[in-house]
Amino acid sequence: MAYYVINGGKRLEGSVTISGAKNAALAIIPACILAGESCRLENLPHIEDVHLLEQILRMMGAEVDFTADGGMRINPKTINNRHVTFDMVSRLRASYYLLGAMLGRYGYAEVALPGGCSIGQRPIDQHIKGFRALGADVQIQRGIITAKADRLVGAEIYLDVVSVGATINIMLAAVGAEGRTIISNAAKEPHVVDAANFLNMMGAQVKGAGTDVIRINGGRKLHGCTYPIIPDQIEAGTYMIAAAATRGDVVINNIIPTHLEAISAKLMESGAHVIDGDDGREFFMRVSCENRPRAVNIKTFPYPGFPTDLQQPMMAYLARAKGNSFIVENIFENRFNHVGELQRMGANIIINDRTAMVEGVDRLFGAPLYASDLRAGAALIVAALSAEGRSEIHNIEYIDRGYEYFEQKLRAIGADITRVEE
């Protein structure tokens, strides 16, 4: 098993380029199944979750190959296996998008219940409610979900909770349904918009993505296309937080500034400097911080609120702030698994239900650390970078799921981080 060794206390300085968005890629790769022809995806992050999906598609019979510039070409015409088993999906939560895509394309899907990070119960009842509203018969038996329909018909679907996964999954199935589907109380995350843009590029009619009502005119034949995936909001936010946590000065390239407003606002409130700009070729963000940050309060909310995926790295940053920060996790009930590890580094954090009270300390100290999920791993990296002394971070297979070339990118901006392969 590999682990990271970080000698903390080094200021991050320089520039880093953000990769394609993990959560957009995990929706758009399965969405290629809906096309009658090959699709070519650009700006794809080379991360473990993408490789798992690539393998699943190959096992289904799709032709998948990589282009010289790191893009992926997917030909779904050769798919001949519509049974996605537990072995294939056990490590990948976003495998649920295979359900919506296969249902929309073939009217039949059989997918084992997804794996992924343990950060709460993570039910998929809203996905199923949506498929049923479109006319599918959905059954769950022995951990396998089967969805089938002779004919899918557009419907009006109100989501009881704002769910990224359900919004995108219903969109995927609805492009294959005859007539109009309306999804109300839809999620507005950047990757929902990116998935809708991709579907439209293939010839679908999806309108309103990015607002809470999405209208889909389904039943159109979809063609192949070339599509560049948006930059990763969460990866960018992680580097912004790491820059501030190490009292560094980092330019973050290949970003969409509006996607980062909630993070910029909170970093500025804490005393960091955040400037966004446009160098004529692309947008960038520059984050610097000279002094010990001030405590700030955070409440996670669906987009455009503060993203739950950055709550953990932000807590690592606030662990060294002046004063008490209150952090409320509204999306996932178990997303405080990193707290015990931060405490072992000297952080002073008390959890009460969904609220963490972080009493800032002047210094954190390196320690052997264990990541419990992807963003907990990112939080431990932020903490270790800003701590005194040596940390070892274990279970980094979680981190590999979502951050492309993490240690190389961090090293290039001055971090003392090494990946040790055991």
Q: Given the rule CB under 6 A, which residues bind ligand UD1?
A: 23, 26, 93-94, 120-127, 161, 163-166, 187, 308-309, 331-332
**Nearest-10 crossing angle of helices 311-318, 374-386:** 20
Integer Cα distance of 207 and 335 in angstroms: 33
117 belongs to the catalytic site: yes
What amino acid occupies position 115? G
290, containing H or E segment = none
**Least distance to ligand UD1 from the beta carbon of 144, Å?**
17
**Least distance to ligand UD1 from the beta carbon of 300, Å?**
8
Q: Which is nearer to ligand UD1, 187 or 298 (CB)?
A: 187
* Residue 256 CB-half CA count within 13 A: 16
Beta carbons of 386 and 410 less than 8 angstroms apart: no
What residue is closest to ligand UD1 based on CB?
A: 165
Identified catalytic residue from 39, 117, 225, 289: 117
Integer Cα distance of 379 and 111 in angstroms: 32
The token pair that represents 96 in the structure block: 């649920």
β-bridge partners, 418: 5
Give ∠ CA 346-347-350 in degrees, rounded to 5. Answer: 130
75, containing H or E segment = strand 72-75
Alpha-carbon distances of 29 from 50, 333, 353, 363, rounded to whole Å:
8, 29, 37, 43
Q: Which is nearer to ligand UD1, 23 or 181 (CB)?
A: 23
The token pair that represents 397 in the structure block: 């297979």
The token pair that represents 294 in the structure block: 């001030």
Integer Cα distance of 175 and 218 in angstroms: 4
**Least distance to ligand UD1 from the beta carbon of 170, Å?**
10
Q: Which is nearer to ligand UD1, 129 or 292 (CB)?
A: 129
Q: Which is nearer to ligand UD1, 74 or 170 (CB)?
A: 170
- Look at strands 298-299 and 324-328 and give their pairing: parallel
- Classify the C-alpha dihedral 83-85-88-94 as positive or negative: positive
**Least distance to ligand UD1 from the beta carbon of 375, Å?**
8
**Least distance to ligand UD1 from the beta carbon of 374, Å?**
8
Q: Which is nearer to ligand UD1, 126 or 288 (CB)?
A: 126
Beta carbons of 36 and 200 less than 8 angstroms apart: no
DSSP string, 306-345: B-GGGHHHHHHHHTTSBSEEEEE--S-TTTTTTHHHHHHT
Q: Which is nearer to ligand UD1, 305 or 389 (CB)?
A: 305
**Least distance to ligand UD1 from the beta carbon of 376, Å?**
12
**Least distance to ligand UD1 from the beta carbon of 311, Å?**
9
396, containing H or E segment = none
- Classify the C-alpha dihedral 266-269-273-279 as positive or negative: positive
Q: Which is nearer to ligand UD1, 199 or 321 (CB)?
A: 199
Residues annotated as catalytic (active site), given as ranges: 117
